[in-house]
Structure 1
């Protein structure tokens, strides 16, 4: 058995690396797998108010019970980059509520803006200054499973380098060749992914 493993150690290493990477990806999506739900659309709660002479978009919502939010997506159009705040009431691991504030930006280059929350939330309030011609048309909370290709590639490369450093003496003597090949592979995967997205999205 041991001799067979030694004979096919590279195949065994590849399988182990893939399993470890899959475990990490599952762990990163644990909350989405366990408590995933259909996107919660809060667009109907978008209001406007004037605060000290400044027009603002305001979204305020209280959940019936604590709700795990992985990400908040805002949709709209803004003439320039500007900061906004998301105030949330989070439930910590001990069951106590805490007030937290997240800061992020909207801009004139995109129409969708994403902010990671990754917490159990009981209420939230979003405030965004409303300059001339600005529009906020959608607010969605999500907790969907997302496969992160960059995270996968990072851990595959990290585990591969660890394997080579420990078990492959030739590779450890000339690490620059290994790093070069990893960079080329990463670029190829990234280029393929971006090209596929462009074709898919038109």
Structure 2
């Protein structure tokens, strides 16, 4: 999805908790299990990062905490007063379930009118793809996503919309320099 489509999902999500969940997934590139298991103490506003504990492969990692995400999390905190899990489910003592998070996205997608198939993992893909499109080095993206192997991260390269017209062949570059010397 384009950045505009992702933004439209946030725009139609009226419930503050639901919007905070979706924005946190996208802004940090989280898996559904990772957002479900976030605890209040995992949000490090001083260093503007989120600690993801025991992600895939049972490894801990840090990801981004954007200014916009922090702002909505603060609004959410004031209204909902979470105790242990950042996003609790029924009864406020357990983590929200992955299925509940997926339903939140499905409802918002329906409201936008976007007909593309999308899952929570799609928001993670969008995070990586949009970072690539904005010039972020793939090695940084690898670390943010928690990929052990760079080849896992390179799947996002085929999703990236490259402006091929602005890429100059090394042959042309060489010949242009040679032509400058001939003039």
- TM-score bracket for the superposition, by shorter chain length: under 0.3
Bigger radius of gyration among the two = 1
Q: Larger % of strand: which?
A: 1
Q: Larger % of helix: which?
A: 2
Task: Please give the TM-score of this superposition, normalised by the length of structure 1.
Answer: 0.22
Task: Please give the TM-score of this superposition, normalised by the length of structure 2.
Answer: 0.24
